[in-house]
């Protein structure tokens, strides 16, 4: 058991006797801000690494092919100034969000020539600091949310006061050889943990895809695999049970435009299909209308289709009373609303809406009432609709329970990785 001493740093606690405490700034020999450069010329263009190239979970660069990386044009002096070398630490200083605040770091370990964009700074370590160990210090600082103390928010953009942080904060610094041993050990252990997390995430993706297939199969083929089939006349469906009908949307659905009440809150239709008061989920990230022109009332139980995000699954049944912008199609039907909802979602999952899109912004489509009204819908008898809805509900519940377990496993592994890094970079545990 090695001798410990008080570091004098609240978040660090005790450190080994042989370790030193240094100001963050003293560990850095140089700091440089990035630049976006000019448009590609096709001649002497240089790879420009961006925050979008970060792997946010593993604090490394994504495994992106060189040919797919962004290239920009820079003058020779700028390239010399911003050229990255192995061991350089890049830290995000602008951008971020509530769940992913600024302050994330990556270490440059590539063979190719590259510079770096604005919104981040390059930190180059002094000779007594091993860069990878220093990055683990930054990861610990970030994961424990100490970085938030230096974030300033302006016009929705987070800015990290890096100068203040480097000047004010102190960090533990073991002998260089011990730093290397710690970094090597953490690279190995964190790599193993990240591999397990990646496997679980793949399982979750498979389960999510399974949910989509359950919905599509049930609303287009029914629940009886032995049912006699006929051509539906709907291109993307193909065959459907012979006793089902096809009905055009304008005869199946009713487009509602209800009055707004004075105390109504704003209803949002999210891409996961939840239709609820905005205040129940989140307020950030929305553009607030100065004038609520064309707003409409929404009641509990109304079928809602988002006119721009419906292609991504923003289709659901409202759980709240409120008001919504005219971009939401608020609908009623004498059929089972959930059956119609699931059918429309199946169209979204099958990219049918994207195929018929006229596009009004990136990754969106114009899915207004006039289009919904002209679509043909497969319509089973009402009793069968209820059976289909019950079947889908049960299958989704079972699958979501498994997904929840998988997400809990990921959280446990992430928590373990966080504590592992902390224990070794602060000397609570020793690499032997």
Residues 6+ apart with CB under 8 A from 359: 365, 366
Decide if pLDDT at 174 tops 90.
Answer: yes
Rounded percentage of the chain residues whose pLDDT exceeds 90 = 85
Domain 4-174, what fold?
Adenine-n6-DNA-methyltransferase TaqI; Chain A, domain 2 (3.90.220)
Per residue in 395-432, is it b (16+ CB within 10 Å) or e — as a string?
Answer: ebeeeeeebeeeeeebeebeeebeebbbebbbbeeeee
Q: What is the pLDDT of residue 1?
A: 76
Domain 245-379 has CATH 3.40.50.620: no
Give the confidence band of 421 by pLDDT, cuts at 50, 70, 90. very high
Closest C-alpha to 314, from 341, 277, 286, 287: 341
What would the mean pLDDT of 120-129 be, rounded to a whole number? 97
Instruction: Give whole-number Cα distances, 237 to 220, 367, 423, in Å.
Output: 6, 19, 56
Decide if pLDDT at 56 tops 80.
Answer: no
How many whole angstroms separate alpha carbon 92 and alpha carbon 171?
19
Q: What is the pLDDT of residue 285?
A: 47
Compute CA 387 distance to the chain's CA centroid, rounded to the nearest angstrom: 35
The string of pLDDT tens digits covering residues 227-239 is: 999 999 999 999 9
Which residues lie across from 253 on neighbouring strands? Answer: 333
Q: Where are the domains of the chain?
A: 4-174, 175-226+380-432, 245-379
How many whole angstroms separate alpha carbon 368 and alpha carbon 431?
62
Handedness of CA 323, 329, 333, 337 (dihedral sign): negative
Q: What is the pLDDT of residue 286?
A: 46
Closest C-alpha to 135, from 212, 225, 241, 60: 60
Decide if pLDDT at 209 tops 80.
Answer: yes
Decide if pLDDT at 287 tops 50.
Answer: no
Least confidently predicted of 68-77, 96-105, 283-292, 333-342: 283-292
Strands 114-116 and 46-49, sheet pairing = parallel
Q: What is the pLDDT of residue 291?
A: 60
Domains 175-226+380-432 and 245-379 share a fold: no
What the block records as the tokens of 289 is 């209308």
DSSP codes, 399-418: HHHHHHHHHHHHHHHHHHHH
Q: What is the pLDDT of residue 303?
A: 98
Which residues lie across from 377 on neighbouring strands? Answer: 247
Which residues lie across from 124 on neighbouring strands? Answer: 30
How many whole angstroms separate alpha carbon 344 and alpha carbon 331?
12
Give the confidence band of 156 by pLDDT, cuts at 50, 70, 90. confident
What would the mean pLDDT of 265-287 be, rounded to a whole number? 82
Cβ proximity of 36 and 116 under 8 Å? no
Which position has the token pair 């020539």?
113
How many whole angstroms separate alpha carbon 300 and alpha carbon 305?
14
Domain 175-226+380-432, what fold?
Helix Hairpins (1.10.287)
* Higher per-residue confidence, 362 vs 346: 346
| Beta strand spans in 86-198 (E) | 89-92, 94-95, 105-107, 114-116, 120-125, 151-154, 157-160, 170-173
How many whole angstroms separate alpha carbon 216 and alpha carbon 231?
17
Residues 6+ apart with CB under 8 A from 430: 2, 16
The string of pLDDT tens digits covering residues 382-391 is: 999 999 999 9
Enter the DSSP assignment of 231: E
User: Three-state SS across 243-304?
Assistant: CCEEEEHHHHEEECCECCCCCCCEEEECCCCCEEEHHHHCCCCCCCCCCCCCCEEECCCCEE
Closest C-alpha to 337, from 300, 375, 376, 296: 300
What would the mean pLDDT of 131-159 be, rounded to a whole number? 91
What the block records as the tokens of 6 is 């008080």
What would the mean pLDDT of 283-309 be, rounded to a whole number? 78
What the block records as the tokens of 155 is 């016009």
Closest C-alpha to 425, from 137, 7, 191, 170: 137
Rounded percentage of the chain residues whose pLDDT exceeds 70 = 96
Mean pLDDT (the chain) is 93
Q: What is the pLDDT of residue 367?
A: 86
| Whole-prediction pTM | 0.87
* Higher per-residue confidence, 353 vs 320: 320
Give the confidence band of 142 by pLDDT, cuts at 50, 70, 90. very high
The pair phi, psi for residue 296, each rounded to 5°, is -135, 155
Q: What is the pLDDT of residue 44?
A: 82
């Amino acid at each position: 058991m090695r001798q410990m001493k008080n570091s004098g740093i609240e978040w660090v606690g005790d450190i080994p006797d042989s370790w030193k405490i240094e100001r963050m700034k003293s560990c850095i020999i140089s700091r440089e801000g990035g630049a976006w450069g000019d448009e590609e010329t096709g001649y002497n263009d240089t790879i420009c690494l961006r925050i979008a190239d970060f792997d946010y979970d593993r604090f490394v660069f994504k495994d992106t092919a060189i040919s797919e990386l962004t290239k920009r044009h820079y003058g020779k002096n700028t390239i010399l100034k911003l050229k990255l070398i192995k061991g350089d630490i890049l830290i995000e200083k602008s951008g971020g969000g509530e769940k992913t605040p600024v302050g994330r770091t990556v270490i440059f370990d590539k063979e190719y020539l590259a510079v770096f964009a604005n919104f981040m700074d390059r930190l180059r370590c002094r000779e007594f600091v091993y860069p990878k160990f220093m990055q683990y210090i930054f990861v610990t600082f970030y994961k424990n949310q100490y970085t938030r103390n230096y974030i300033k928010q302006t016009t929705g953009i987070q800015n990290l006061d890096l100068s203040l942080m480097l000047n004010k904060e102190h960090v533990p610094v073991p002998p260089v050889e011990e730093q290397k041993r710690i970094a090597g050990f953490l690279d190995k252990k964190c790599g193993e943990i990240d591999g397990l997390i990646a496997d679980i995430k793949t399982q979750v993706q498979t389960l999510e895809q399974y949910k989509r297939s359950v919905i599509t199969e049930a609303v287009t083929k029914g629940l009886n695999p032995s049912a006699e089939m006929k051509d539906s006349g709907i291109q993307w469906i193909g065959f459907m049970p012979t006793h089902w009908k096809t009905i055009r949307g304008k005869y199946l659905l009713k487009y509602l435009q209800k009055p707004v009440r004075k105390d109504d809150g704003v209803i949002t239709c999210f891409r996961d299909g939840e239709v609820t008061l905005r205040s129940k989920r989140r307020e950030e990230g929305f553009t607030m209308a100065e004038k609520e022109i064309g707003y409409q009332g929404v009641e509990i139980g109304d079928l809602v289709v988002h006119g721009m995000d419906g292609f991504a699954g923003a289709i659901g049944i409202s759980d709240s009373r409120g008001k919504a912008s005219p971009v939401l199609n608020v609908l009623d039907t004498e059929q089972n609303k959930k059956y119609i909802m699931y059918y429309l979602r199946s169209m979204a999952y099958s990219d049918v809406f994207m195929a018929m899109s006229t596009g009004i912004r990136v990754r969106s489509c114009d899915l207004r009432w006039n289009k919904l009204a002209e679509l043909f819908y497969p319509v089973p008898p009402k009793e069968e609709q209820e059976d289909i809805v019950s079947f889908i509900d049960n299958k989704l519940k079972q699958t979501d329970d498994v997904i929840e377990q998988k997400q809990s496993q990921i959280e446990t592994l992430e928590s373990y990785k966080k504590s592992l890094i902390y224990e070794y970079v602060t000397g609570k545990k020793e690499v032997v």
